[in-house]
Amino acid sequence: MPSFYSLFLAGVSLEEIGEILHVVQGDRAIAKVKITPKLGLTVFDIRRKPIGRIVDIFGPIKSPYIEIEVEEQNPEKLVNSPIYISPKDRGMKGKR
Protein backbone atom coordinates (compact mmCIF):
# COMPACT_ATOMS: atom_id res chain seq x y z
CA MET A 1 0.00 0.00 0.00
CA PRO A 2 1.41 3.45 -0.88
CA SER A 3 2.28 5.92 1.86
CA PHE A 4 -0.40 8.27 0.56
CA TYR A 5 -3.35 7.96 -1.76
CA SER A 6 -5.27 10.16 -4.15
CA LEU A 7 -8.82 11.37 -3.78
CA PHE A 8 -10.66 11.98 -7.05
CA LEU A 9 -13.69 14.24 -6.76
CA ALA A 10 -15.50 16.29 -9.39
CA GLY A 11 -12.76 15.84 -11.95
CA VAL A 12 -9.97 17.03 -9.65
CA SER A 13 -7.45 14.66 -8.16
CA LEU A 14 -6.27 15.44 -4.62
CA GLU A 15 -3.41 13.73 -2.82
CA GLU A 16 -3.50 12.95 0.89
CA ILE A 17 -0.44 14.39 2.62
CA GLY A 18 -1.19 13.89 6.30
CA GLU A 19 -3.52 14.47 9.23
CA ILE A 20 -4.40 17.43 11.46
CA LEU A 21 -3.16 16.83 15.01
CA HIS A 22 -4.48 19.86 16.90
CA VAL A 23 -5.58 23.50 16.69
CA VAL A 24 -3.62 26.38 18.25
CA GLN A 25 -4.38 30.10 18.64
CA GLY A 26 -7.94 29.50 17.44
CA ASP A 27 -7.17 29.75 13.73
CA ARG A 28 -4.01 27.66 13.26
CA ALA A 29 -3.87 23.89 12.81
CA ILE A 30 -0.79 21.70 13.19
CA ALA A 31 -0.59 18.68 10.88
CA LYS A 32 1.83 15.76 10.55
CA VAL A 33 2.65 15.30 6.87
CA LYS A 34 4.24 12.56 4.76
CA ILE A 35 5.84 14.91 2.23
CA THR A 36 7.15 18.46 2.45
CA PRO A 37 4.75 20.72 0.51
CA LYS A 38 5.37 24.31 -0.59
CA LEU A 39 4.54 27.24 1.68
CA GLY A 40 1.35 29.02 0.68
CA LEU A 41 -0.39 25.97 -0.81
CA THR A 42 -4.09 25.51 -0.19
CA VAL A 43 -5.00 22.46 1.89
CA PHE A 44 -8.31 20.63 1.37
CA ASP A 45 -10.49 18.31 3.46
CA ILE A 46 -11.97 15.01 2.29
CA ARG A 47 -14.99 16.84 0.82
CA ARG A 48 -12.63 18.87 -1.41
CA LYS A 49 -13.40 21.98 0.63
CA PRO A 50 -10.45 24.36 1.19
CA ILE A 51 -9.33 24.33 4.82
CA GLY A 52 -6.69 27.05 4.60
CA ARG A 53 -3.13 27.67 3.47
CA ILE A 54 0.25 26.43 4.68
CA VAL A 55 2.08 29.17 6.59
CA ASP A 56 4.96 27.23 8.18
CA ILE A 57 6.89 23.98 7.82
CA PHE A 58 8.92 22.67 10.75
CA GLY A 59 10.35 19.58 12.39
CA PRO A 60 12.69 16.92 11.02
CA ILE A 61 13.17 16.71 7.26
CA LYS A 62 12.07 13.06 7.15
CA SER A 63 9.04 13.65 9.39
CA PRO A 64 7.80 17.23 8.88
CA TYR A 65 4.90 19.15 10.37
CA ILE A 66 3.00 22.05 8.84
CA GLU A 67 1.06 24.95 10.27
CA ILE A 68 -2.15 25.80 8.43
CA GLU A 69 -3.92 29.14 8.68
CA VAL A 70 -7.47 27.77 8.94
CA GLU A 71 -10.41 29.51 7.26
CA GLU A 72 -12.97 27.21 8.94
CA GLN A 73 -15.41 28.72 11.49
CA ASN A 74 -14.95 25.77 13.87
CA PRO A 75 -11.40 24.46 13.30
CA GLU A 76 -11.54 22.02 16.25
CA LYS A 77 -13.77 19.71 14.18
CA LEU A 78 -10.82 19.18 11.79
CA VAL A 79 -8.65 17.42 14.39
CA ASN A 80 -7.71 13.86 13.29
CA SER A 81 -8.97 14.58 9.76
CA PRO A 82 -6.90 13.74 6.68
CA ILE A 83 -5.68 16.66 4.59
CA TYR A 84 -5.07 16.90 0.86
CA ILE A 85 -3.30 19.04 -1.73
CA SER A 86 -3.45 19.15 -5.50
CA PRO A 87 -0.73 16.82 -6.88
CA LYS A 88 0.35 19.47 -9.39
CA ASP A 89 1.29 21.69 -6.42
CA ARG A 90 3.18 18.97 -4.61
CA GLY A 91 6.29 21.06 -4.18
CA MET A 92 9.06 18.63 -5.02
CA LYS A 93 12.36 20.39 -5.56
CA GLY A 94 13.54 20.79 -9.12
CA LYS A 95 16.92 21.48 -10.69
CA ARG A 96 18.68 24.71 -9.83
Q: Is residue 95 part of a domain?
A: no
Is residue 87 very low, low, confident or very high in pLDDT (cuts 50, 70, 90)?
confident
Q: Is residue 21 part of a domain?
A: yes
What CATH number corresponds to the domain at position 20? 2.40.10.230
Is residue 84 very low, low, confident or very high in pLDDT (cuts 50, 70, 90)?
very high
Residues whose CB is less than 8 angstroms from the CB of residue 11 and which lie 6 or more positions away in sequence, other chains included? none
Phi, psi angles (nearest 5°) of residue 83: -125, 155
**Rounded-to-integer distance, Cα 31 and Cα 3, Å:** 16
pLDDT digits (tens, 9 = 90+) for 33-81: 999 999 999 999 988 899 999 999 999 999 999 999 999 788 889 999 9
pLDDT, residue 41, reads: 95
Q: Is residue 96 part of a domain?
A: no
Q: Which amino acid is at 49?
A: K
Is residue 95 very low, low, confident or very high in pLDDT (cuts 50, 70, 90)?
very low
**Rounded-to-integer distance, Cα 3 and Cα 25, Å:** 30
**Rounded-to-integer distance, Cα 57 and Cα 38, Å:** 9
